[in-house]
């Protein structure tokens, strides 16, 4: 979801429960925990929260994640399926590039095929990463992965 949709969602809940809006820092922390949830079920979630809770939920991100799982169970066709793979030479075929640099493992979304929609993971091109010192081992280069 986009951050504005989340802020509007929280604002409407605060209005419903006659509660003061949380600080911007709290909203930012909460958003990082629920940004993977799309905008589509937000109206349904708002209705569920207002009908099930007598007061504003103590831990809104947890309630939202629980409702998200319930929404997915009720709408199985809305679930993203991981079976779509591309024949991309830069990533693992699912849009993920994993590399090493200075002993640490790093993960990026592939900028070439753009198959991955994992928010919070930076997008990059393999060639640019290799120029910046990220590497795959020779055996893993063949398999297009740096783990295992």
Break the chain into its structural domains and give their ranges: 3-78, 96-143
pLDDT surpassing 80 at residue 51: yes
Query: Binning pLDDT at 50, 70 and 90, where does residue 137 land?
Result: low
- Distance between first and last Cα of the chain: 32
Is the model's pLDDT at 23 over the cut of 50?
yes
What's residue 115's pLDDT? 81
The average pLDDT across 82-95 equals 70
- pLDDT score recorded for residue 145: 52
CB of 50 closer than 8 Å to CB of 13: yes
Q: Which residues pair with 100 in a beta bridge?
A: 105, 135
Classify residue 124 by its DSSP letter: E
Residue 3 has pLDDT above 80, yes or no: yes
Instruction: State how far the Cα of 126 lies from the Cα of 18, in Å rounded to an integer.
Output: 50
Q: Would you state the pLDDT for residue 81?
A: 53
- Residue 76 pLDDT > 80: no
Average pLDDT estimate for 74-83: 66
Q: What is the CA radius of gyration of the chain?
A: 20
Contact 124, 97 (CB under 8 A): yes
Tell me the average pLDDT of the chain. Answer: 84
63, 56 Cβ separation under 8 angstroms = no
Of the segments 61-65, 92-96, 97-101, which one has the largest average pLDDT value?
61-65
Alpha helices, DSSP H, located in 18-125: 24-34, 42-52, 60-74
CA–CA distance, 89 with 2 (Å, rounded to integer)? 31
Compute the distance between CA of residue 3 and CA of residue 37 in angstroms, rounded to an integer.
Answer: 11
- Whether 43 contacts 85, CB under 8 Å: no
């Amino acid at each position: 979801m986009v951050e504005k949709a989340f802020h509007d969602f929280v604002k409407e809940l605060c209005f419903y429960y006659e509660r003061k809006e949380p600080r911007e820092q709290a909203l930012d922390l909460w958003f990082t925990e629920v940004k993977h949830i799309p905008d589509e079920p937000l109206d349904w979630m708002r209705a569920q929260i207002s009908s099930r809770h007598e007061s504003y939920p103590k831990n809104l991100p947890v309630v939202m994640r629980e409702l998200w799982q319930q929404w997915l169970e009720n709408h199985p066709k809305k679930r993203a399926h991981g079976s779509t793979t591309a024949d991309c030479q830069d990533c693992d075929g699912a849009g993920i590039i994993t590399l090493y640099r200075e002993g640490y493992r790093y993960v990026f979304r592939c900028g070439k095929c753009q198959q991955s929609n994992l928010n919070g993971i930076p997008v990059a091109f393999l060639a640019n990463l290799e120029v910046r010192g990220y590497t795959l081992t020779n055996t893993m280069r063949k398999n297009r992965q740096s783990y295992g």
